[in-house]
Amino acid sequence: MNLQKVLGPDVVRPQLSSKTKADVIDEMLGILVATGKVKDEEAARTALLERERKMSTGMQHGIAIPHGKTEAVDALIACVAVSRVGIDFGSLDGQPARIFIMTLSPKNRTGPHIQFLAEVSELLRSKERRETMLQASTSQELLRILIS
């Protein structure tokens, strides 16, 4: 999967204003809704929150990947955001999250969802890349770091 097909400056934010897990989900969902690609905001929110109830999407190294499968979208969509402050996301390593990748995908299509998550996970394995992302000050700069 080519990240450039999914990510653009309109869905990349270098400075989230949220301070809680619920607010991160709402703020990022709002970014995706603004693209016009979410047909039902409440259905999308429900899918994201149900996934979080099953198991937190907080990973390691300050990364969280809230995601859900829903009929509210026709194709995989994604949003990437960074917080200047760490947010408790119930991460595996117990550390606060600062890098967030949100995806929504249709219930009936698994391939693109798995492929996107695998590609993003590989991308974020680099400590240097994560640190550079945290320093980005504009959407264009953060996007360049992600797709380079």
3-state secondary structure of 30: helix
Q: What is the C-alpha to C-alpha distance for residues 61 and 77, in angstroms, rounded to an integer?
A: 24
Q: What are phi and psi of 103, to 5 degrees?
A: -130, 145
Contact present, 87 and 18 (Cβ < 8 Å): yes
67 is catalytic: yes
Helices and strands: H and E segment counts in the chain: 6, 5
Give residue 90's identity as a one-letter amino acid code: G
Which of the following is catalytic: 13, 45, 51, 67?
67
Active site residues: 67
